[in-house]
Structure 1
Amino acid sequence: MHHPLTAVALASLALLGCQPAEPVRIGFLGGLSSRASDVGEAGRNAVQLAVEQRNSAGGIRGRTIELIVRDDAQDMEVATRGTKELIENRVAAVIGPFASSMAAAALPHINQAGVVMVSPTITSMDFVGNDDYLFRINRTTRDNARDYAAKLYQRGQRRIAATFDVRNRSFTESWLNEFKAAFAEIGGETIIAVPFESMPDAGFADIVTKMLAPRPDGLLFIAAAVDLSRLCEQAKRLAPKLPIAATEWAASEKLIELGGKALEGLLIVQNFNREDRSARYLAFRDAYFKRFQRDPGYSSVLAYDAATAVFDAMEKRTEGETLKQALVKYAPFEGLQQTISFDAYGDTPRTVYFTQIRDGRYEQIE
């Protein structure tokens, strides 16, 4: 005859066997409350959508995905705290951050914990060719700056005046230095580079006045959308005929809302093809709009690609394989518009598209 306790113990074990598996925790780190929060919010929305879609399709090997979100507020201390909290929550991976300076704050803790971090957007050369736990979905500042140098030169510009935001120095200085070198190589000159710090009263008229002093034949802004719109207003007021260009950082959906007519003619790169009519991209765009009542932007597309790569690698990896190994081994992953393959350092190429703002919309140009 069975002891009653044995029966109870067996019943408990049977019940435990029916418990659902613990969810896979995925962390998100991005700027959700800063002046440049448009990029982080669009990225978070895309990751949220990717999680919901994957969960409705059965999760990862039958386990649901739980998203844990932390705001880095574009502040290095806040980013450090958020990273530590995600690690304490035992996340399998972190998607983010979206600014190079925030990645610089997060990376030491990520490496120490051995947790994979996949940044959708960072491009600084500081993060290229390093054997660490950071993977990047975007190309480098060197790639982008070289393309800009060639495009501006092709358009007849030889003397460029630049301004750059020191609050995201890891990106802006990397971009500026790469541009200066590439532009000089083909016969152009960056005649002045005016530093500024992103804040509501940054003195945008003074910045543009300083840029105009050495009589450039083109203006280049290395700034987030919220500051770029103000810089373009001043450029249109002080030098309405001068060509204006801005780096890919500002190419968000919010930019058009913020800048209005002052942006007319602005040259800016996009990290995705807005004209794409493929079934895969249109299905994503429609699902995103239905869920968030707005169109996806570049950080949405890149963040969704980051989530796809992480989920697919987790699905495919075998026992004993780390996620870091799986991301390299099981590539290419099917992104929304292009496949994603990482080299041993977590770096990847990406195709970009030049656009010019005309009548309040991004129009692709050759």
Structure 2
Amino acid sequence: MRPYVLTPAVAMFLLQLAACGDPEVIRLGFVGRLEGRASEISIASLSAVRMAVDARNEAGGINGRQIRVFVRDDHGTAEGGAEAARSLISEGVEAIIGPNLSVVAGGMVPVINEAEIVAISPTVASQYFVGQDDYFYRINSSTHEVAKSYAKHCIDAGHQKVAIGFDGKNQLYSMNLIHAFDEAFTALGGTLIEFREFNSTIRGDIPRLAIELSDSNPDALILLANAVDTALLAQQIRKHDTEVALLASQWATSDSLLTLGGGAIDGITLLQAYDGFDKSERYIAFGDSYSARFQSSPRFASIAAYDGVTVLFSVIENLAEDESIKSSIDAIGRFQGLQQIVEFDDFGDSTRKITTITVQEGKFIPK
């Protein structure tokens, strides 16, 4: 048998043949916690990303290129975030949506900075990431901004003494918010009488925390936890104090809170970075499509993730040959979101308008 020799003419023909094929897909990564009791906001984010990608692909993709999403579970840890980022970078992703938790971002950000890959987080809020000139972009308001809103709300509602219970597994978020709240609340004349952490994986820790918080005799309790743990904490607290005002972070805003909380969460107040009662045509169309596909209502994580991926669509679509995604985002700076303008400052930080909701008879309603 004669060996086959690849002549220059044949090589050129093969290159031309390849060029006539379909354009290479656009590879986008997604990082989030996809299993366990703290997975709900990541699943909501991924759902919105998939919906946006599918709609764009059905419309022809971006400049004729289809979009493919590569998904990695971060397991809710810094180590998991770092490993998820490395795995996606090895897949050749052009950018990443995620993570949702500040603790995960702590492990992930050094990896994306080294690889010079942009990541846009829908929900990370920790002040730790604010003012850093890096490859990490945040859609959400910072913990300092959110803390000021909670402090003002408490004072306006007549709550002079406040205690806080928080999930110890996400301290990069919780402790930032607590210290900022303490500063803002004290400046307004209030007193943060105590803050205590819990670990939901330890049997009896939630009932223990409920007793300790109730015994501190506060006017209001702020719960910084996911939807499942917030519902369980509220139920335990109501066994000891039926009058204390309850507030929760937007981290807990989901159908699970309503399903699991029962009467214990009636009247609970949540401050949100989105308007679930928006009557604009754009939002109604999004909400109807989302609910029909996923059998649940879109919440803050869905909306912020949708905004994040549409930012990437806009940037990639108009990217010059010698331009990076980071330099393009920085140059444009301002993007139309689903409900609000997404405007990144020089450090990739954004803010959101805060709205207030409460739970009445198993439903979220504006307050």
- Residues 202 and 297 of structure 1: is their aligned pair in 2 closer, same or farther, counting only changes over 3 Å? farther
- Residues 320 and 14 of structure 1: is their aligned pair in 2 closer, same or farther, counting only changes over 3 Å? closer
Aligned to 1:287: 289
Q: In structure 2, how many angstroms separate the alpha carbons of the residues matched to 1:354 and 1:314?
A: 35
Q: In structure 2, how many angstroms separate the alpha carbons of the residues matched to 1:46 and 1:229?
A: 25
Structure 1 residue 207 corresponds to structure 2 residue 209: yes
Aligned to 1:244: 246
Q: Secondary structure at the match of 1:276?
A: coil
* Counterpart pick for 1:169 among 146, 168, 171: 171
Ranges in structure 2 where 5+ consecutive residues have no aligned partner: 1-5
Q: In structure 1, how many angstroms separate the alpha carbons of the residues matched to 2:328 and 2:24?
A: 21
Q: In structure 1, how many angstroms separate the alpha carbons of the residues matched to 2:78 and 2:234?
A: 28
Q: In structure 1, how many angstroms separate the alpha carbons of the residues matched to 2:248 and 2:212?
A: 17
Instruction: Decide whether the 8 Å contact of 1:253 with 1:297 is kept in 2.
Output: no
Give aligned pairs, total. Answer: 362
The Cα shift of 1:201 comes to 2.5
- Residues 189 and 24 of structure 1: is their aligned pair in 2 closer, same or farther, counting only changes over 3 Å? same
Q: In structure 2, how many angstroms separate the alpha carbons of the residues matched to 1:207 and 1:101?
A: 22
- Residues 243 and 63 of structure 1: is their aligned pair in 2 closer, same or farther, counting only changes over 3 Å? same
Structure 1 residue 359 corresponds to structure 2 residue 361: yes
* Counterpart pick for 1:32 among 31, 34, 46: 34
Instruction: Decide whether the 8 Å contact of 1:180 with 1:190 is kept in 2.
Output: yes
Q: Secondary structure at the match of 1:187?
A: coil
TM-score, normalization: structure 2?
0.95
Aligned to 1:218: 220
Structure 1 residue 150 corresponds to structure 2 residue 152: yes
1:247-258 maps to which residues of 2 (within 5 A)? 247-258=249-260
Instruction: Decide whether the 8 Å contact of 1:25 with 1:67 is kept in 2.
Output: yes
The Cα shift of 1:258 comes to 2.0
Instruction: Decide whether the 8 Å contact of 2:30 with 2:46 is kept in 1.
Output: yes
- Residues 162 and 9 of structure 1: is their aligned pair in 2 closer, same or farther, counting only changes over 3 Å? closer
Aligned to 1:134: 136
Q: In structure 1, how many angstroms separate the alpha carbons of the residues matched to 2:140 and 2:88?
A: 23
Q: Secondary structure at the match of 1:112?
A: helix
1:5-44 maps to which residues of 2 (within 5 A)? 11-44=13-46
Aligned to 1:97: 99
Select between 241-250 and 168-177 the one with higher mean Cα deviation.
Answer: 241-250
* Counterpart pick for 2:324 among 322, 325, 328: 322
Q: In structure 2, how many angstroms separate the alpha carbons of the residues matched to 1:5 and 1:84?
A: 39
* Counterpart pick for 1:111 among 110, 113, 121: 113
Instruction: Decide whether the 8 Å contact of 2:28 with 2:95 is kept in 1.
Output: yes
Deviations 1:23-64 (CA, angstroms, capped at 9, x unpaired): 110000001013211101000000011111111122121111
Q: Secondary structure at the match of 1:26?
A: strand
Aligned to 2:47: 45
Select between 48-57 and 328-337 the one with higher mean Cα deviation.
Answer: 328-337
Deviations 1:244-285 (CA, angstroms, capped at 9, x unpaired): 111121112321122122110001012211111111111111
Deviations 1:81-120 (CA, angstroms, capped at 9, x unpaired): 1111001111100100000000001011010000001000
Deviations 1:202-248 (CA, angstroms, capped at 9, x unpaired): 52221111112232111111111111011100111110111111112
Structure 1 residue 65 corresponds to structure 2 residue 70: no
Deviations 1:61-86 (CA, angstroms, capped at 9, x unpaired): 11111100001111222222111100
Q: Which amino acid aligns with 1:312?
A: S
What is the percentage of aligned positions where both structures have the same residue?
36
Q: In structure 2, how many angstroms separate the alpha carbons of the residues matched to 1:239 and 1:6?
A: 83
Q: Secondary structure at the match of 1:54?
A: helix
Q: Which amino acid aligns with 1:148?
A: Y
Q: In structure 1, how many angstroms separate the alpha carbons of the residues matched to 2:95 and 2:9?
A: 41
* Counterpart pick for 1:83 among 78, 82, 85: 85
Q: In structure 1, how many angstroms separate the alpha carbons of the residues matched to 2:257 and 2:95?
A: 30
1:256-271 maps to which residues of 2 (within 5 A)? 256-271=258-273
Select between 258-267 and 102-111 the one with higher mean Cα deviation.
Answer: 258-267
Q: Which amino acid aligns with 1:166?
A: G
Q: Which amino acid aligns with 1:61?
A: N
Q: Which amino acid aligns with 2:233?
A: L
TM-score, normalization: structure 1?
0.95
Q: Which amino acid aligns with 1:184?
A: T
* Counterpart pick for 1:340 among 336, 339, 342: 342
Q: In structure 1, how many angstroms separate the alpha carbons of the residues matched to 2:353 and 2:168?
A: 27
Ranges in structure 1 where 5+ consecutive residues have no aligned partner: none
Q: In structure 2, how many angstroms separate the alpha carbons of the residues matched to 1:172 and 1:79?
A: 18
